[in-house]
Structure 1
Amino acid sequence: MRGEAEVLMDQLKQIAQGLGETFAPFCEVVLHDLTDPQHAILAIHNNLSARAVGEPATELGLARIADPDYPTILTNYPNAFADGRQAKSTSIGIKDARGTYVAALCLNVDLTLFHNLQSVIGQFTRVDAQGGARESLKPAGADAIRARIDRFAAGRATTPRALRAEERRALLRELKGAGCLEVRRAAEVIAAHLGVSRATVYADAK
């Protein structure tokens, strides 16, 4: 006969999968098994943090394990992925019948696309009666390259790291044609922003 904990974890896996499919590709959904902190990650959907099933609990998970009075729900707190991308996170602690934290369901939203959309909308709605100086379309550096990649992904309702292979190749051809690859350390910047190797960048740009 299956135990209470096993049934609970199976139900939480289904919830995590459903949330992951609903909010793909912008929201990473992670299920943590807090009864096994050294191998806490039980499931991960829309993997934006480059973690893997079986990796240990985060500081927040360890805090819940140590303190049963730790807040059950923490919503929309600022976070960041390992590569520096900004995120906002929500963490929901799950207790068993004895009031002990046994699991946590966490949602991490990649804010890259949304910040870019906010910037695009702000630029589009800005009014300058005097005309002002014209902005050069020539990329000025790493920030300009990242912004161009973000706009490309936003136009396809996705994030840079969620681009399909054929979309990524189209992007690299566009960047090459615009002279972006001539910028110092361009391949390194593009590879980091897309989550691929520099070899892939060079191959896709051909």
Structure 2
Amino acid sequence: MDRKLDFLKQLAHGLAAQFGSSCEVVIHDLTKKDLDKSIVYIENGHVSNRHTGDGPSGIVLETLRSDPGKIKDKLAYLTRTDDGRILKSSTLYIRDEKGKIIYIFSMNYDITSLLAAENSIRGLIQTEPENDTETDSSATPQRITHNVTELLDLLIEQAIARVGKPVAMMNKDDKVAVVQYLNNAGAFLITKSGDKVSSLLGISKFTLYSYMDKG
């Protein structure tokens, strides 16, 4: 009785049940003399149209002609069925106590429909890049604000984030960058925004205006 094979069969059945009918799990037995029938267990064989008793895949042959000591598991790579479906595959090499590969445990998940859905969704969510790179915040979705106070706070937050350091650590060039960002974003159109920004940066209103002119 091969307890290792029994465990692999149990694992295969559990994975197939967990991930559903799109997930094929295959066990190849490399100890068999007749490798034309290397598949000793398969779940959801309809994915690749294979059955128990079928022959080896390319990965099996590659394993047999490679140095076992150099073979590593292959995870999350793409394969394709003969009818054109795309599978996300992972191959695990199961070894005996001496390090010899005795089984290949493979998972093949049919992602064809997911790729089609991804292409459809991408067209819906794709946006055009901003022409003004100074105010481009495309890296993250723009937060919706409820009043000008929130809007000013948001713009200040974005300006500081672009500089990448807290105000207490900013030098003159950093503060100029903050002011210019806010100016380009229209922040100073908000009433008393100059007072708030000057106080935050620890500069005078005169200095604030000189920084704005540097743009």
Q: TM-score range by the shorter chain?
A: 0.5 to 0.7
Aligned residues: 124
- Residues 26-79 of structure 1 show CA distances to partners (whole Å, capped at 9, x for unaligned) of 221111111122211111112200011011111211222333124231012221
1:32 pairs with one of 28, 36, 49: 28
Q: Which amino acid aligns with 1:108?
A: N
List alignment gaps of at least 5 residues for structure 1: 129-206
Give the drift of 1:14: 0.4
SS at match of 1:113: helix
User: 1:72 touches 1:94 (CA, 8 Å); kept in 2?
Assistant: no
Change (3 A) 1:70 1:44: farther
SS at match of 1:64: helix
Larger radius of gyration: 2
Structure 1 stretches (4+) deviating beyond 6 angstroms? none
Percent pairwise identity: 31
SS at match of 1:77: strand
Separation in 2 of the partners of 1:57 and 1:70? Answer: 20
1:19 pairs with one of 9, 15, 21: 15
Give the drift of 1:126: 4.8
Cross-structure match for 1:108: 108
SS at match of 1:98: coil
Q: TM-score, normalised by structure 1?
A: 0.56
Name the structure, 1 or 2, with higher relative contact order (CA <8 Å, separation 6+). Answer: 1
Separation in 1 of the partners of 2:44 and 2:25? Answer: 7
List alignment gaps of at least 5 residues for structure 2: 129-215
SS at match of 2:90: strand
Cross-structure match for 2:72: 72
Q: What do you get for the CA RMSD once the two structures are aligned?
A: 1.8
